[in-house]
Structure 1
Amino acid sequence: MLRWLIAILFLANMLAFVVVRGVFGPAPTAGGREPNHLNRQFHAEWLKVQPVTAAEAADQAIVGGPAPTVPIAASALPQ
């Protein structure tokens, strides 16, 4: 019984090797399947640095300072 198991495992290993080598054609992940992929890539040269305005800076927490208070209105829940 162990001989049959070893033979089956050997054949499965050989089949996997043949598939990886591309005997049955290229793998689906070989490329050419996502033509839009290159358009979605990150391009550092397209980034623009903009200064932070005073209004935007008001929302930023100061490191080492107290935690900012959130303007939330609270009311009692009706029962």
Structure 2
Amino acid sequence: MLRWLIAILFLANMLAFVAVRGVFGPTPTAGGREPNHLNRQVHPEWLKVRPVTATEAADQAVVGGPAPAAPIAASALSQ
């Protein structure tokens, strides 16, 4: 019983290998799915790339650093 399971798993593994290698044709992700996507953009020349300023980057978390403190004001509740 175990021999048949190993044989079936081996054959399935070989089938997956040859499918990835392109024996059955190109994979769906091989080419661009939307080749005219850039041509259909509305005013792509309006896009501007600019660096992030220090004030914009102040609320960004630093990877590996301490968690930033939230700017929340708190007061005691009256009873």
TM-score (norm 1): 0.48
**When you count helix as a share of all residues, which structure comes out higher?**
1
